[in-house]
Amino acid sequence: MIKVIKEITSGDEREIGQLIEAPFTEYSYVLHLTGEVRNRKNDQILSEVNPKVAASVGALLISRKPNGGRLRLTREGVVAAYFEDHWGYLATVNPEQWFPDHLHLTV
């Protein structure tokens, strides 16, 4: 769990809640108070489709947004949460840390 959290946070250069203006992917998610992330389109939860990292990712996200709420994702893997009146930075994930086929990063 700690290894995954370190991977997610190692590249953090933005402040939590910093405005995200990049376009989002077509996916929308909910961060539950338990730290579970749910795909709003089909109700899949991250722990069902990516059990190896779901607990770590969820723990990090809920620690940064304790009241949960809506999440969006940019093509670069930036996870944004809704903060009062804007979409703000929450974390950055790679394809292996998220829902399969929701994030396609190219090098």
Q: How is the chain split among helix, strand and coil, in percent rounded to 5?
A: 25, 30, 45
Q: How far apart are CA 97 and CA 58, in angstroms?
A: 10
With respect to residue 32, please indicate whether it lies within any of the assigned structural domains: yes
With respect to residue 59, please indicate whether it lies within any of the assigned structural domains: yes
Average pLDDT, integer, range 1-24: 73
With respect to residue 102, please indicate whether it lies within any of the assigned structural domains: no
With respect to residue 54, please indicate whether it lies within any of the assigned structural domains: yes
Q: Residue 69 is part of which domain span?
A: 2-97
> Quick check: 8 pLDDT over 70?
no
**pTM higher than 0.75:** yes
Total domain count for the chain? 1
**Tell me: the pLDDT tens digits for 31-40?**
999 999 999 9
**Tell me: the pLDDT tens digits for 43-91?**
999 999 999 999 999 999 999 999 999 999 999 999 999 999 999 999 9
